[in-house]
Amino acid sequence: MEEHRNLVTPSPEVAEKYSNELDVAVRAVQMACSLCQKVQDSLISKTNSPVHSKDDNSPVTVADWSVQATVSWILSESFGSRDVSILAEEDVQSLSKADSTGLLDAVVKTVNDCLTEAPHFGLNGPKTPLGRSDVLEAISRCNSTGGPTGRFWALDPVDGTLGFVRGDQYAVALALIEDGEVVLGVLGCPNYPMKKEWLSYHHRYHRIISKLTPPTSESWDKGCVIYAKKGSGEAWMQPLHQKNKLLAWPNSAIPVQVSSIDNPALATFCEPVEKSNSSHSFTAGLAHSVGLRKQPLRVYSMVKYAAIARGDAEIFMKFARTGYKEKIWDHAAGVIIIQEAGGVVTDARGSPLDFSKGKFLEGLDRGIIACSGAKLHERIIGAVDASWNSSSL
């Protein structure tokens, strides 16, 4: 096994606090991204790949369950199962049903295939392959209800499931919340390239290029992992780990920071692709009133947070339709990464997002606004106040 080196470059003011947790979390997300890439590749190449449908009609793949089991197992092995509490999206009950045996077997195989590669990520894998009961136990450990006290992890195993099944953008999101505050966040973005110039190419072109480009070439890094911890005043990005780049990893992290653009006419704003949980018409009206002239960057998943944190865009606005409740695992990791990279994230009144109320962002005022800087943020907040009463939200 390669030597277990620390991924994190801690700043003096926060010393070593949360460094070990962040180190393990980054490694776990790197492994989860590797797992997801393999499942997504098989999903794209096979029409009969296992895609399951949840009660809320969002597609769920083997990757969802496998990532949840894998991350849960790694965290428990690293910190002790008694000391690990996880709040995650998937419920073990639906995977435990008799008619889910085929799905469960696929998950068990996927998890074991992933965990055999643990040494490449500086982690210990299981001494013997996990069985069905081991995998179900790992998933069932994700039963935290969150709240204002204590420590728990918030995990979204595959955020942007529709993007995932379409071969587009998605993210693996992991955050640690302590006494109601997010203290570290990791975003794995398997289809979000390290180099900004690749963003202008369509994702299917990415896949073609990645297959044509020699594996040892440094000209192409398909995906990235971005992470930060509270109070460090910095966020970091590293390429997805590949076996043929062992010498470069894990010492390949580079600092990222938000854009310095504060002129709305030059700013780029992100919004969700799907209209079902966000009002495109309202954000379009806001963009016009504030003076945003560029076409919106519509991206699946929390990749939007990554885009702002590393300076590819300046604004993210999301205004959910009536009755939709934001879940904490959809935002926790992204929020702290943007904040530590120098940006601002609040609700539409300018109040911090509250991660202490359990599964949902209770008390959220109208919507979520993330900006690269205070000046743009103030302009957006003012525009929301001016136009909210005339909206249909």
Binding residues: 89, 156, 159, 330
d(C-alpha 175, C-alpha 336), whole Å? 9
Angle of helix 101-115 relative to helix 132-140, nearest 10 degrees? 90
Of 61, 161, 268, 346, catalytic: 161
Full 3-state SS string of 312-353: CCCEEEECCCCCCCCEHHHCHHHHHHHHHCCCEEEECCCCCC
d(C-alpha 11, C-alpha 158), whole Å? 30
161: annotated active-site residue: yes
Of 23, 61, 64, 221, catalytic: 64
* Spatial contact of 290 and 317, defined as CB atoms under 8 Å apart: no
64: annotated active-site residue: yes
d(C-alpha 180, C-alpha 82), whole Å? 20
* Residues in binding site for Mg(2+): 89, 156, 159, 330
Q: Is 212 exposed, middle or buried (0-12, 13-18, 19+ CB in 10 A)?
A: exposed
CA nearest to 155, candidates 64, 229, 81, 230: 64
Q: What positions carry a catalytic annotation?
A: 64, 161
